[in-house]
């Protein structure tokens, strides 16, 4: 298969290259595209050096599959061009997720929606949505879920390599000099701090990131009655997101049945059956599986369960999920 990657030198693009190699995806040729700053760099795939080209319309031909990981504006500008040239586009941005003509897929949950491709484009969900749904879907199969209260603790790599650099620089500066570093990526100081806002605030006072969890989850689950309320928080962690989920069901779900359903779900690992064992972001980093723990009944509501889930948002939250979508084609 002739494959292209837009945003190849970014965190997600580089991870896609790595995962294609790990999973022995059938690649007859690989074309890498990036910004003016990235053009001319060489990246390795199967021990071969491949030069990154600056993204231009003329290069989006003679390709079977293109991964877009360069942000919504680039996707809006170039994805339809690539698709009109016969390629299938798997887009990692927010550009097409809520477009009713574009399937939004987590392969473990709604792989059948790959048949709904109409215009050559498939959307990859938001990373927090993917990780959350890996725990929500198997429980939703036990009993209808009415409401989910989510609090996410999102690592700085969710803002790209520059986010990681800012955390490292800020931390070093504070420890060495006791002085604050000028914030370039985040609105507030990120070292030794948390920021309870990711994305712009919308008309209902929820952030864009918080509304993504509500809207995207409903689309993926094909259920417009389930409600999500979220608070998304940026935390001083380099990689992998953590999410606290409080789930209210229509009917009673026992902890035993919940744990069994979670254990059986592909791509998900349960860490311990008791609350003295729990996953942290470090446990999930560079791993394909999401990990769930701290599973307990919520004694404050009639039919509630609380749990904690962690996942590598660059892998399962983005690059791995995109490659898994490609494997469905």
pLDDT tens, position by position, 182-215: 889 999 999 999 999 999 999 999 999 999 999 9
Distances in Å between the Cα of 111 and the Cα atoms of 44, 78, 114, 193, 321 are: 30, 25, 6, 39, 11
pLDDT at 273: 61
Query: What is the 3-class SS of 260-328, one letter each residue?
Result: HHHHHCCCEEECCCCCCCCCCHHHHCCCCCEEEEEEEECCCCCCEEEEEEEECCCHHHHHHHHHHHHHH
pLDDT at 257: 97
| Interval 1-22 mean pLDDT | 96
CA 89 from centre of chain? 17
Task: Indicate if 157 and 299 belong to the same structural domain.
Answer: yes
Nearest to 310 by CA among 104, 106, 135, 108: 135
Q: How many residues does the chain have?
A: 329
Task: Indicate if 71 and 193 belong to the same structural domain.
Answer: no
- Residue that has been written with the tokens 């190849």 in this structure: 8
d(CA 290, CA 313): 9
What is the chain's mean pLDDT, rounded? 95
- Predicted confidence (pLDDT) at residue 17 exceeds the cutoff of 90: yes
Task: Indicate if 27 and 146 belong to the same structural domain.
Answer: no
- Predicted confidence (pLDDT) at residue 165 exceeds the cutoff of 90: yes
Question: How many distinct structural domains can be found in the chain?
Answer: 2
Task: Indicate if 156 and 254 belong to the same structural domain.
Answer: yes
pLDDT at 274: 61
Task: Indicate if 115 and 133 belong to the same structural domain.
Answer: no
- Predicted confidence (pLDDT) at residue 41 exceeds the cutoff of 70: yes
- Predicted confidence (pLDDT) at residue 177 exceeds the cutoff of 90: no
Confidence grade of residue 275 (pLDDT, cut at 50, 70, 90):
low
| Interval 28-36 mean pLDDT | 95
Containing domain of residue 41, as a range? 2-125+319-328
Task: Indicate if 305 and 323 belong to the same structural domain.
Answer: no
Task: Indicate if 136 and 170 belong to the same structural domain.
Answer: yes
Task: Indicate if 108 and 135 belong to the same structural domain.
Answer: no
Buried b (16+ CB within 10 A) or exposed e, 47-62: eeebebbebeeebbee
Look up the CATH number of the domain holding residue 37: 3.40.50.720
Look up the CATH number of the domain holding residue 284: 3.30.360.10
- Predicted confidence (pLDDT) at residue 135 exceeds the cutoff of 60: yes
pLDDT at 192: 94
Task: Indicate if 167 and 66 belong to the same structural domain.
Answer: no
Give the residue ranges of DSSP H helices in 112-159: 127-140
| Interval 135-159 mean pLDDT | 97
Residue of higher predicted confidence among 162 and 107: 107
Six token digits for residue 72: 């919504």
pTM of the prediction?
A: 0.95
pLDDT tens, position by position, 65-101: 999 999 999 999 999 999 999 999 999 999 999 999 9
Give the β-pairing of 48-54 and 29-34.
Answer: parallel
**Active site residues per annotation:** 127, 241
Task: Indicate if 229 and 323 belong to the same structural domain.
Answer: no
Nearest to 163 by CA among 86, 62, 265, 238: 238
Task: Indicate if 323 and 302 belong to the same structural domain.
Answer: no
Which strands form 48-54's sheet, in the order they lie side by side? Answer: 42-45, 48-54, 29-34, 2-6, 65-68, 88-91, 121-123
What is the CB neighbour count within 10 angstroms for residue 264? 10
Task: Indicate if 82 and 176 belong to the same structural domain.
Answer: no
């Amino acid at each position: 298969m002739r494959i292209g990657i837009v945003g190849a030198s970014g965190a997600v693009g580089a991870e896609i290259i790595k995962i294609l190699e790990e999973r022995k995806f059938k690649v007859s040729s690989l074309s890498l595209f990036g910004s003016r700053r990235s053009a001319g760099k060489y990246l390795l795939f199967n021990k071969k050096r491949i030069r990154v080209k600056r993204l231009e319309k003329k290069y989006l031909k003679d390709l079977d599959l293109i991964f877009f990981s360069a942000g919504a504006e680039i996707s809006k500008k170039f994805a339809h061009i690539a698709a009109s040239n016969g390629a299938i586009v798997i887009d990692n941005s927010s550009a097409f997720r809520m477009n009713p003509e574009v399937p939004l897929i987590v392969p473990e949950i709604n792989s059948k929606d790959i048949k709904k491709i109409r215009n050559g484009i498939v959307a990859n969900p938001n990373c927090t949505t993917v990780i959350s749904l890996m725990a929500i879907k198997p429980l939703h199969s036990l009993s209808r879920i009415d409401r989910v209260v989510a609090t996410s603790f999102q690592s700085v790599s969710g803002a790209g390599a520059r986010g990681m650099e800012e955390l490292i620089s800020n931390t070093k500066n504070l420890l060495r000099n006791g002085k604050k570093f000028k914030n370039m990526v985040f609105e507030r100081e990120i070292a030794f701090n948390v920021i309870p806002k990711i994305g712009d605030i919308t008309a209902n006072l929820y952030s864009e990131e918080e509304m993504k969890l509500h809207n995207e989850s409903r689309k993926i689950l094909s259920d417009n009655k389930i409600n999500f309320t979220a608070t998304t928080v940026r935390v001083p962690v380099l990689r992998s997101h953590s999410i606290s989920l409080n789930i209210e069901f229509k009917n009673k779900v026992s902890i035993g049945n919940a744990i069994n359903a979670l254990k059986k779900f592909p791509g998900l690992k349960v860490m311990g059956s008791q609350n003295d064992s729990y996953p942290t972001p470090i446990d999930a980093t560079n791993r394909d599986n999401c990990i769930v723990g701290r599973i307990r009944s919520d004694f404050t509501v009639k039919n509630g369960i609380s749990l904690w889930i962690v996942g590598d948002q660059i892998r399962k939250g983005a690059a791995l999920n995109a490659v898994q979508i490609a494997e469905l084609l």
